[in-house]
Amino acid sequence: MSLGTLDKSPPPFFKQGPTAFSKWVFFSALSLLLMVADARFQITQPVRAVLITALYPVQWLALQPVHLFKSGNNYLTSLTQAKSDSEDAGKKLALQSLRAGQVEQLILENNRLRNLLGLRKQLATSVMAAEVLYDAADPYTRKVIIDKGLLQGVDLGSPVLDESGVLGQVTRVYPLVSEVTLVVDRDLAIPVLNVRTGARSVAYGDPTASGSGLELRFMGSNSDLQQGDLLTTSGVDGVYPPGLPVAKISRIERRAQSAFAKIYCTPQALVSGALHVMVVKPLTNQIPPRPDSAAPDVPAKKRAAK
């Protein structure tokens, strides 16, 4: 073989592009840039909405075996358990019927008192039934996905309830599904009212690793709080209707070296096993607008003089 026919190009071993460290630095910087841009400007929100909408049929098909298994398990419930549930339901129905008569009387008296005092009527809220599809994939948050979205009229910030109390709040809305942040999530806070004392405070999601409860912060060590106190929504935030059960105080730690007490609460809602929920319209759009402070009211004497 002549020397002119030999391939004079270097072997592939020497044809190296950028080094592995350079690639690592480039893609790390690109990842940080995209995360900051998404957190600041929500640039991936349309892409995320399109992907979730496109994957919804696949998710629906994947959940069908789970629904079939749950249906079969419910069908095989024993007759003794069914009879026990029926008896308990009858007792609760009799108790609720007794309370219903008392509630109607209280509502009538409340309306008469409001008319007498000239108070504004309570805001009416509309609700929508929804079903929990699955938990969110992020292991560091407590969120669930429900089967109602923008096309069904779900609003961002809508409170979500189950049969026992406040479950969470809608934090993201997509065309067909919505993301609900649970009350035990560390990023969620709800203004609450102590039913026994009438004191208002704010309940935060449990910041511990378990993340299964709530915490009342910035409450003095000498505050009038007891284990078992029921906390309901106060309604001062204009989002949650007042009077909805949120949690009960389970443990109080009063420390001499701190001016604040550590108050732990147990949520009333079934945060780990809710299946059917109610989405409530937020009260923000129903609250009357704030009066214009730029144009103060003219005193009655000046108007009469004019």
Q: What is the pLDDT along the chain (306 residues), one digit of tens a residue?
A: 455 555 555 555 555 667 788 889 888 988 888 888 888 887 778 888 888 888 888 888 888 888 888 777 777 766 677 777 788 888 888 777 777 767 777 777 777 777 777 655 555 678 899 999 989 877 788 999 999 999 999 999 999 998 889 999 999 999 999 999 999 998 899 999 999 999 999 999 986 655 678 999 888 888 889 999 999 999 888 888 888 899 999 999 888 788 888 899 999 998 888 889 999 988 776 666 666 655 455 444 444 444
If asked whether residues 152 and 278 sit together in one domain, one would say yes
Residues 56 and 81 in one domain: no
Question: Residue 285 and residue 216: Cα distance in Å, rounded?
Answer: 28
238: Cα separation from own chain's centroid: 15
Query: Are 39 and 162 found together in one domain?
Result: no
Domain count, the chain: 3
pLDDT reported for residue 283: 76
- With a threshold of 0.85, does the pTM exceed it? no
Q: How far is the C-alpha of 141 from the C-alpha of 182, rounded, in Å?
A: 9
**For residues 123 and 241, what is the distance between their CA atoms, to the nearest angstrom?**
8
In three-state secondary structure terms, 41 is helix
Alpha carbon 288 to its chain centroid, in Å, reads: 25
Same domain, 144 and 225: yes
Residue 197 and residue 222 in contact, taking contact as beta carbons nearer than 8 Å: no
- The confidence score (pLDDT) of residue 303 equals 47
Same domain, 99 and 140: no
pLDDT score, position 91:
80
Residue 232 near residue 149 (C-beta atoms within 8 A)? no
pLDDT at position 8 is 56
- Six token digits for residue 17: 């592009």
- Which amino acid, 144? V
The answer to whether the CB of 171 falls within 8 A of the CB of 156 is: yes
Q: Do residues 44 and 139 share a domain?
A: no
Tell me what pLDDT residue 304 has.
46
Q: For residue 200, give its domain range.
A: 122-285
Instruction: Answer whether 175's CB lies under 8 Å from 139's CB.
Output: no
Residue 298, domain member (yes or no): no
Are 192 and 203 in contact, with CB atoms under 8 Å apart?
Answer: yes
24 part of a folded domain: yes
Report residue 215 as tokens: 């915490």
- Residue 166's pLDDT is 93
Quick check: is 13 in a domain? no
Distance CA 291, CA 285 (A): 15
Residue 53 and residue 81 share a domain = no
Coil/strand/helix, residue 129: strand
The secondary structure of 233-274 as a DSSP string is E--TTSSSPTT-EEEEEEEEE--TT-SB-EEEEEESS-TTT-
pLDDT at 211: 62
Q: What are 50-58's contacts with CB under 8 Å, separation 24+?
A: 52/174, 52/176, 52/177, 53/174, 53/175, 53/176, 56/176, 56/177
Same domain, residue pair 61 and 94: no
